[in-house]
């Protein structure tokens, strides 16, 4: 039986995917890119398990989903949940550090049609530079 957890995070799918790859590469975790997911064999708290990690664009962000495909032998239900949460937390913390702490912000901006009515919000990443007013400074 596969176990899953998911979380909506306020970043565009492209940045979430890059965050997944950066975290896995940084920890030297072997992984394979599938159609819409990344399958990784990672050691979490000393237990080697196989995870499926996906990012799907939603109305107000991107759904990051972690599924345990195969757990280490003897891992309890709580251990499985902790392992999936640890994988998700590593990715979310990486994204927060890269996008928010390094003067970049994920901004949710509702788009208006020609009559001034709001449409589905679009997510945009824009650099925030200290000491620069909007429209000034280098683009990132």
Residues with Cβ within 8 Å of 6's Cβ and at least 6 positions away in sequence, in order, are 63, 64, 65, 66
What's the mean pLDDT in 67-96? 92
pLDDT category, 120, cuts 50, 70, 90? very low
Phi, psi of 67 (to 5 degrees): -120, 135
- Predicted model pTM: 0.71
Domains defined along the chain, listed by start: 3-101 (3.30.530.50)
Q: What is the DSSP letter of 6?
A: E
pLDDT category, 94, cuts 50, 70, 90? very high
pLDDT category, 46, cuts 50, 70, 90? confident
The answer to whether 83 and 89 have CB atoms below 8 angstroms apart is no
């Amino acid at each position: 039986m596969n176990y899953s957890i998911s979380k909506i995070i306020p970043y565009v799918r492209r940045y979430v995917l890059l965050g997944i790859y950066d975290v896995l590469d940084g920890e030297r975790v072997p992984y394979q890119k599938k159609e819409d997911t990344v399958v990784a064999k990672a050691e979490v708290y000393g237990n080697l398990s196989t995870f499926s990690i996906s990012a799907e664009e939603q109305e107000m962000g991107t759904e990051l989903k972690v599924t345990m495909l195969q757990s280490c032998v003897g891992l309890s239900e709580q251990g499985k949940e902790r392992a999936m949460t640890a994988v998700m937390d590593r990715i979310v913390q990486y994204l927060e550090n890269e996008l928010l702490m390094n003067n970049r912000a994920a901004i949710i901006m509702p788009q208006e049609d020609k009559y001034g009515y709001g449409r589905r919000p679009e997510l945009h990443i824009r650099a925030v530079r200290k000491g620069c007013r909007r429209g000034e400074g280098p683009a990132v």
